[in-house]
Amino acid sequence: GETYYHNWNITETSYTRLCSTKKILTVNGQFPGPALHVHRGDRVFINVVNHGTYNITLHWHGVKQRRNPWSDGPAYITQCPIQAGSSFRYEINFPIEEGTVWWHAHSDWSRATVHGPIFVLPKLGTSYPFPKPYSEVPIIIGSWYKGDIMKIIEEALLYGGEPNASDAHTINGQPGYLSPCSKAGTFKMPVKKGKTYLLRIINAVMNEEMFFAIANHSLTVVGSDGSYVKPITTKYIMITPGQTMDCLLKADQSLSHYFMASRAYVSGHVGYDNSTTTAIVQYSGSYTPPSSPSFPTLPEITDTDSATIYTKRLRSLASKEHPVDVPKSFDTRIYTTISVNTLPCVNSSCDGPNGNRLSASMNNISFGDPSIDILLAYYKKIKGVYGTDFPNEPPYYFNFTSDDLSINNSTTLVGTKVKVLNFNSTVEVVFQGTNLVSGENHPLHLHGFSFYWVGWGFGNFNKTTDPKGYNLVDPPEINTVPVPVNGWAAIRFRADNPGVWFMHCHLDRHASWGMETVFIVKNGKSRLTSMRRKPKYMPPC
Ligand code: C2O
Ligand code: CU
């Protein structure tokens, strides 16, 4: 493969949206950030120079970073942040994934504006498992906040309440036709009648799952999270923060333009951003513009049935060229509750339920950031930075998904606990959603791997009957799994990537509240099954 070198400058640049101007963090002044185009097998070096006033890190979401957690990016997990005025060089290798992955900042809430797409094309000499599209277009669904994003989360954490919702959703950085002062900037995708386009759709929204559709057109989903799926023809998709969906769009209509639109799917929480963002599919040629352009029909904002119907259709392509390798059994099962709950307030009084502060946890442990990154502590065997006693099971059992909140959830502990896995062991993780402070979908994301999503359902996981319904033939191979509201999801993977790998909810407020943990995968016996050596320079804390 090829090797590419890029220089990325983190700058604060003025952008105007929703009738007001503010400075946002960007890469090279661009929002959304630059797209990376690579072929499978390529390698990219990116020298990040931080000209901003905040510390920052970048993460390559969906890239496995085999044996190389040093370049993975999450702050205090695999590196200390790149401080204002300094720089750090990331190395990103693409031997495995094919399709759409993306990159985003992974410190504080800077990913709201610091993100961009990664197109991983088939290795030279090979081709897509579908006819080559005429052209490829990134569709990044995002969030726009009028306020200062860093202050919003800082204050929410300080006072313990909900962070402010965003002021608009965006498509490729634009709120679109329906938002104040935004019509003119609406993103336009030019098309030629008869051609087929590949939309590389990314949900970069901070806190909402999204529905997306295009008026009068159907979409054919062919990939997700950097691997191929069996084609699904659909009028709408549901996409969760962190996920990507590759969709073919055939330009087969006869008016001059059609709207695409996206709005939240909210499974159980109030105070969300319910704005609809729009963009335009613009046919070239001399058509008469429609007098009143139509918007696509999107499922209702709380329509769990539509979300479920769509998501249940996802299957791995499972072809000869793109086989599946689902572990048929497992060495370790981790059964973890994921909850939003509360902790005692550290100030005099907090804005959360009953004067407490909102928190979130996995198996009742709310993840607390360590003082130096876990990777360095592991590598240098520095004691006292993290504990290896992440519980394998919930500390107590109750009816997780009932509305009876008699369970006392004040016993949540703040801790930096990791789960250690043996090299090459097979792992099953069952995420059990709960209904403590709020019941809601949680998109759980794992770094360093893609995993097979073998089963899910509503209600409490039953370890005798539910595994009988697992799909071990063609489950989707993904890196972010939407755990259904009041339900569970089971994933399997092989721990064949030595290193330190973050796992967290991709709703940023839940991650900030502690719905996070870390896997440490031990080295194998040989050099090629061990983590790479520490690069000479890593940013200091
Ligand atoms: Cu897309 Cu840890 O994140
Ligand atoms: Cu969550």
- Ion ligand 2: residue ranges with CB closer than 5 A: 442, 505, 507, 510
Rounded CA-CA distance 314/452 in Å is: 11
> Nearest ligand, CA of residue 207?
2
Cβ of 115 closer than 6 Å to ligand 1, yes or no, is: no
239 alpha carbon to ligand 2 midpoint, in Å? 14
pTM over the 0.90 mark:
yes
- C-beta of residue 364 within 8 angstroms of C-beta of residue 343: no
Per-residue pLDDT reduced to its tens digit, 133-155: 999 999 999 999 999 999 999 99
Q: Pick the residue whose CA is nearest to atom 3 on ligand 1.
A: 61
Q: Is the minimum distance from the CB of 33 to ligand 1 under 6 angstroms? A: no
CB 61 near ligand 1, within 6 Å: yes
Q: Are 59 and 502 a contacting pair, CB within 8 Å?
A: no
Q: Other C-beta atoms within 10 Å of 5: how many?
A: 10
Whether ligand 1 lies within 6 angstroms of the CB of 217 is answered as: no
Chosen CATH of 1-127 out of 2.60.40.420, 2.60.200.20, 2.40.50.140, 3.40.50.300: 2.60.40.420
Model pLDDT, residue 238: 98
Task: CATH 2.60.40.420 in the chain: give the residue spans.
Answer: 1-127, 128-322, 332-529
CA distance 517 to 522: 16
Average pLDDT, the chain: 95
For residues 404 and 498, give the distance between their C-alpha atoms in angstroms, rounded to a whole number.
42
- The pLDDT value given to residue 353: 87
Which ipTM score applies to this complex? 0.98
Type of residue found at 10? I
Per-residue pLDDT at 410: 57
Encode pLDDT of 9-64 as tens digits: 999 999 999 999 999 999 999 999 999 999 999 999 999 999 999 999 999 999 99
User: With 0-12 CB in 10 A as exposed, 13-18 as middle and 19+ as buried, what is 27?
Assistant: buried
The 3-class secondary structure across 21-75, one letter per residue, is: EEEEEEECCECCCCCEEEECCCEEEEEEEECCCCCECEEEECCCCCCCHHHCCCE
Is 502 a pocket residue for ligand 1 (Cβ < 6 Å)?
Answer: yes
- Ligand 1 nearest-atom number relative to CA 111: 1
Which pLDDT band holds residue 289 (cuts at 50, 70, 90)? low
Distance between Cα 450 and ligand 1 center (Å) = 13
For the cut 90, the answer to whether the pLDDT of residue 213 exceeds it is yes
- Ligand 1 atom nearest residue 242's Cα: 1
For the CA of 241, the closest atom of ligand 1 is 1
Q: pLDDT (tens digit, 9 = 90+) per residue, 374-423?
A: 999 999 999 999 999 999 999 888 889 887 766 555 578 999 999 999 99
> How far is the centre of ligand 1, averaged over its atoms, from the C-alpha of 104 (Å)?
8
CA distance 539 to 219: 44
Q: Tell me if 106 CB under 6 Å of ligand 1.
A: yes
Is pLDDT at 84 greater than 90 in this prediction? yes
Residue 130 main-chain phi, psi, to 5 deg = -155, 165
- Give the pLDDT score at 294: 83
Using DSSP's 3-state secondary structure scheme, residue 232 falls into strand
Q: Is the pLDDT of residue 300 over 80?
A: yes
Question: Regarding beta strands 168-171 and 135-144, do their DSSP bridges make them parallel or antiparallel, or are they unpaired?
Answer: antiparallel
SS3 call for 437: coil
* Cα 413 from Cα 434, distance rounded (Å): 17
CA dihedral (289, 294, 295, 299) in degrees, to 10, reads -160
Tokens of 463: 């370890």
Count how many Cα atoms sit within 13 Å of the Cα of residue 25 in the half-sphere of its side chain. 29
* C-alpha of residue 310 to centroid of ligand 2, in Å: 20
Strand order in the sheet with 516-521: 418-421, 516-521, 499-505, 442-446, 480-483
Residue 320 CB coordination number (10 Å): 5
| 280 CA from centroid of ligand 1 (Å) | 29
Ligand nearest to the CA of 431: 2
Ligand 2 centre distance from Cα of residue 527 (Å): 37
From the CA of 73, the nearest ligand is 1
CB distance 417 to ligand 1 below 6 Å: no
Place of tokens 């319910």: 274
Distance, CA of 32 to CA of 25 (rounded, Å) = 10
pLDDT band at residue 357, thresholds of 50, 70 and 90?
very high
Q: Nearest to residue 312, comparing CAs of 237, 248, 260, 214?
A: 237
Candidates 102, 124, 104, 128; CA nearest to 42 is 124
Give the DSSP per-residue string, 124-191: TT---SSPPPSEEEEEEEEEE-SS-HHHHHHHHHHH-SPPPPPSEEEETTB--TTSTT-GGG--EEEE
- The rounded Å distance from CA 440 to ligand 2 centre is 7
pLDDT band at 435 (very low <50, low <70, confident <90, very high): confident
Q: How far is the CA of 536 from the centre of ligand 1 (A)?
A: 25
Give distance in angstroms: CA of 152 to centre of ligand 2.
18
Structure confidence at residue 287 as a pLDDT band (50, 70, 90): low
Residue 447 beta carbon below 6 angstroms from any ligand 1 atom = yes
Is residue 273's pLDDT more than 60?
Answer: yes
Q: Please give the CATH number for the structural domain made up of 128-322.
A: 2.60.40.420
CATH number of 332-529: 2.60.40.420
Q: Kindly report whether the peptide bond that precedes residue 370 is cis, defined as omega within 30 degrees of 0.
A: no
Element (H, E) at 260: strand 257-265
Q: Is the CB of 40 under 6 A from ligand 1?
A: no
Is residue 268 very low, low, confident or very high in pLDDT (cuts 50, 70, 90)? Answer: confident
Q: Which tokens is 226 given?
A: 């950097």
